[in-house]
Amino acid sequence: MIQNIPNRLWQLIHSLPICHHLSERSSLWGLNFPLCCRCTGLYASLILGFFLNGFLKIGYTKGKRTLIILIGLSLITGIEAVFEMVFEIDLGNLLRFVTGSISGYAIGTLLSVAFLSKVE
């Protein structure tokens, strides 16, 4: 029974409509992920950014400049994806993972500010 938990979790994640799940874009460092590398980095870092900022107060200082930087960082994945489509080149899974991670952390930080900030 316990041996089937990782397999069931893998199947559950793979069945969710949150990623395209292309197998050629789901492996990195010899590991196969249930999501593509971009989505793996994005969702893992989103959770990390949300909790680090929301509960430990790491990663965000109040101010317009910080907000603009976080919004800019959250756009990196979209820019990289559009660049790949327009120029029809494959930048590789490592870059997808890195850009997804940067965007995910920024989005997680922004979400934590939006949902966990005290109204003044």
What global pTM score does this model have? 0.74
The pLDDT of residue 77: 82
Q: Which residue has the tokens 């920024």?
A: 106
What pairs with residue 91 in β-bridges? Answer: none
Residue 58: what pLDDT? 61
Tell me, letter by letter, the H, E, C secondary structure of the chain: CHHHHHHHHHHHHHHCCCCCCCHHHCEECCEECCCCHHHHHHHHHHHHHHHHHHHHCCCCCCCHHHHHHHHHHHCHHHHHHHHHHHHCCCCCHHHHHHHHHHHHHHHHHHHHHHHHCCCC
Q: What is the pLDDT of residues 100-113, one digit of tens each?
A: 999 898 888 888 87
Position 32 pLDDT exceeds 80: no
Query: Number of folded domains in the chain?
Result: 1
Look at residue 92 and tell me whether its pLDDT is greater than 60: yes
Domain that holds residue 51: 2-116
